[in-house]
Amino acid sequence: MNFFRIRKFQVNNFRNLLTGPLDFSENLNCFFGNNGNGKTNLLEALYIFSNKKSFRKNVSFPQICSFSLVENPHIYFFATLEDHAFQKQHQISGKIGPIENEWYIDGSRLGKKNQFPNFKSIIMTPFDAHLFFISSKNRRDWFDRHLSKVNDEYRKSLQRYGMLIKHRNNLLKIKFTLDLLQIKAIDREIAQHMEILLKARHSFIQSLSEVLPSICFAIFGETVNLSIKMCTEVTLWNNLDIFECLQRNVVLDQKKGHTTYGVHLDDYEMIWNGQSAENYASTGQQKVSYFSLLFAYTELFRYNFKSYPIVLIDDITSELDTLRWKKLIDYVLSKNYQTFISTTSESVWEGLGNLKNAKKFLIKNGEVSLVI
């Protein structure tokens, strides 16, 4: 199992950041700055460095590259990555451009054979819990994304299923010449994928639900009966039964112009002490549920990744009271995750910076400096 930590980090031409090499703590790193100074940008740079994509949706190269660069725009990364488990250090550099990206490890270009070290970061932003609870599409996306990462059969089936549903919907829209034979053939395949997806989803939420209350207690000291419920119309577990059902719905589907039965319409509900968290829990409680879910996933599936994640927390105090965010910090530190936290509160920053092995950084107009 790998156990990576980012020890040195420099990024050039990234948004408003103007950083020289930064020496990070292997435990806790706290960034303080007023609004609009570059805290989230620095966390985003760290996220891109570890995951090769941004956590912000639909981000393109021109958005992340500094506005001031007109000619030959490129973003450069330089970092020292330490693998604690194997007592090794790697020098990593990267060049992100409008067309192509290049990554090097210890001087060798990374390609198909030579892979990037197996490390990932997870991010918590003030909007995550809000986004998760705001729409079923977001929840579905969250579960699909996370389950796909740990279950390759699921990922492939989901891709194929999506294509088949799209194709079926296109056929249904051709009003007068419905090709029943073709729909029948598609339905057989759709049913097989539905069975795979359904079973994988059920076992995934069962595993998560089993550990959620204890994780919630470990992180927030909260005794809550927290679980996830699947909301699906597909109650049949066998692809032959699912196929029959799809076929019975063809006339209705043709009237509606789309496929009305299937796991693409599934939703998930977080249950907080017997009630739907979406409808009854406070904003803070929703945040607690969401973070518990994220860490339950991280804990459960760490072994699939064969690596400990790096934890990035943007705006730690937003919507969490002092007791809860302090417990959250205790939890990540007890897990030995290397952690990066941003805050707009000077007292929070001072307090965190005084913890053992913590480092404090000030961010002002994109300039990042270590404060001793």
> Under the rule (CB under 5 A), what is the footprint of Mg ion?
39-40
> Which residue in 2, 12, 16, 93 binds ligand ATP (CB under 6 A)?
16
Q: Which is nearer to ligand ATP, 38 or 353 (CB)?
A: 38
Q: Does 138 bind ligand ATP (CB under 6 A)?
A: no
- Residues 202-261 within binding reach of ligand ATP (CB under 6 A): none
Q: Strands 22-23 and 4-12, how do they pair?
A: antiparallel
Number of residues lying near ligand ATP (CB under 6 A): 16
Q: Under the criterion CB under 6 A, does residue 13 sit at the interface with ligand ATP?
A: no
d(CA 213, CA 222): 8
CB of 49 to ligand ATP, least distance (A): 15
**β-strand partners of 265:** none
DSSP 3-state percent helix, strand, coil across the chain (nearest 5): 45, 25, 30
Q: Which one of 35-43, 141-149, 153-161, 317-325 is the stretch in contact with ligand ATP (CB under 6 A)?
A: 35-43
Among 11, 22, 24, 38, which residue sits at the site for ligand ATP (rule: CB under 6 A)?
Answer: 38
Q: CB of 61: closest distance to Mg ion in angstroms?
A: 21
66 binds ligand ATP (CB under 6 A): yes
Residues 6+ apart with CB under 8 A from 59: 53
CB atoms within 10 A of CB 20: 9
Residue 54 binds ligand ATP, judged by CB under 6 A: no
Minimum distance of ligand ATP from residue 361's CB (angstroms): 12
Under rule CB under 6 A, residue 40 binds ligand ATP: yes
Can you list the positions of beta strands (E) in the chain? Answer: 4-12, 22-23, 28-32, 75-83, 88-96, 101-105, 108-109, 121-124, 226-231, 267-272, 275-276, 310-313, 339-343, 358-364, 367-371
- Residues forming contacts to ligand ATP in the complex (CB under 6 A) are 15-16, 33, 35-41, 63-67, 344
